[in-house]
Structure 1
Amino acid sequence: MSIFKKRREEGFNLAFLDVMACGLGAVILILILVKFSANTDIPVEELNRLKQELAATTDVASELQKSLSTKQLELAAQSATLEEIQQRLQSLKINQDAVTQALKDELAVIADLETAIAAAGPLVADDPIEISGAGEETYLVGLKVQGRHIGILLDMSASMTDDTLIGVIKNKVGSDAQKQAASKWQRSLRILNWLLARLPNNAQVSVVAFNDTSVVLGKSINSQTSADDLNQIARQAAGLVPNEGTNLQQGLQTIASTMNNMTDLYLITDGLPTYVNPNSGFNENRSCRPVQGKQATITGECRANVFAHTMRANPISGVTTNIILLPLEGDPMAPGFYWSWADRTRGTFIAPAGTWP
Structure 2
Amino acid sequence: MKRRPLTTVSLSFIDAILCGFGAIVLLFLILSHNSIAQRREATEALQQEVEALEQQVLSGRSEAARLDAGLEQAGERRQRLLAQSKALSENIAGRRYDLARLETDKIAREAHVNRLKADLKSRDEELKRLEGGAMQRAPEGERLRAFPGEGDRQYLTGLKVGGKRILILLDASASMLGERIVDVVRLRNLPAPEQRRALKWRRALSTVDWIATQIPTGSRFQIYTFGERAGPVVRGAPAGWLDAGDPAALNGAVEATKKIIPRGGTSLYHALDVIKQLEPKPDNVFLITDGLPTIDRERGARYTVPGEQRLRFFDDALAVLVKGVPINVILLPMEGDPMAAAAYWRLAQITRGSFLSPSEDWP
For 1:1-80, list aligned pairs within 5 A. none
Give aligned-pair identity as a percent.
Answer: 32
Check the 8 A contact 2:174/2:264 in 1, yes or no.
yes
Match of 2:318 in 1: 311
Give deviations 1:182-228, integer Å, cap 9, x for gaps: 01000100100111111134111111101112220234311221111
How many Å separate the matches in 2 of 1:187 and 1:138?
A: 17
Match of 2:262 in 1: 242
- Asked if 1:333 corresponds to 2:339, the answer is yes
Match of 2:163 in 1: 147
Check the 8 A contact 1:206/1:255 in 2, yes or no.
no
Unaligned runs of 5+ in 1: 1-109, 118-123, 279-290
Please identify the structure whose Cα radius of gyration is greater.
1
- Letter paired with 2:228: D
Candidates 268, 271, 276, aligned match of 1:256: 276
How many Å separate the matches in 1 of 2:318 and 2:152?
A: 36
After TM superposition, the score normalised by the length of structure 1 is 0.59
Give deviations 1:27-83, integer Å, cap 9, x for gaps: xxxxxxxxxxxxxxxxxxxxxxxxxxxxxxxxxxxxxxxxxxxxxxxxxxxxxxxxx
* Cα distance change on mapping 1:137 and 1:345 into 2, 3 Å: closer
* Cα distance change on mapping 1:259 and 1:181 into 2, 3 Å: farther
Match of 1:128 in 2: 144
Check the 8 A contact 2:272/2:321 in 1, yes or no.
no
Displacement after TM superposition at 1:138 (Å): 7.7
How many Å separate the matches in 1 of 2:247 and 2:223?
A: 15
Check the 8 A contact 2:330/2:356 in 1, yes or no.
yes
For 1:214-225, list aligned pairs within 5 A. 214-218=230-234, 219=237, 220-225=240-245
- Letter paired with 2:318: M
Check the 8 A contact 1:207/1:233 in 2, yes or no.
yes
How many Å separate the matches in 1 of 2:283 and 2:152?
A: 27
Check the 8 A contact 2:166/2:283 in 1, yes or no.
yes
How many Å separate the matches in 1 of 2:275 and 2:175?
A: 21
How many Å separate the matches in 1 of 2:339 and 2:153?
A: 29
How many Å separate the matches in 2 of 1:247 and 1:321?
A: 16
Secondary structure of residue in 2 paired with 1:317:
coil
- Letter paired with 2:192: D
RMSD of aligned Cα (Å): 2.4
Check the 8 A contact 1:150/1:262 in 2, yes or no.
yes
- Letter paired with 1:311: L
Check the 8 A contact 1:206/1:258 in 2, yes or no.
no
- Asked if 1:193 corresponds to 2:209, the answer is yes
Displacement after TM superposition at 1:125 (Å): 4.5
Check the 8 A contact 1:246/1:273 in 2, yes or no.
yes
After TM superposition, the score normalised by the length of structure 2 is 0.58
How many Å separate the matches in 1 of 2:167 and 2:152?
A: 25
- Letter paired with 2:349: D
How many Å separate the matches in 1 of 2:228 and 2:140?
A: 36
Secondary structure of residue in 2 paired with 1:319:
coil
* Cα distance change on mapping 1:138 and 1:355 into 2, 3 Å: farther
- Asked if 1:300 corresponds to 2:320, the answer is no
Secondary structure of residue in 2 paired with 1:140:
helix
- Asked if 1:211 corresponds to 2:227, the answer is yes
Match of 1:102 in 2: none
How many Å separate the matches in 1 of 2:275 and 2:349?
A: 20
Check the 8 A contact 1:153/1:255 in 2, yes or no.
no
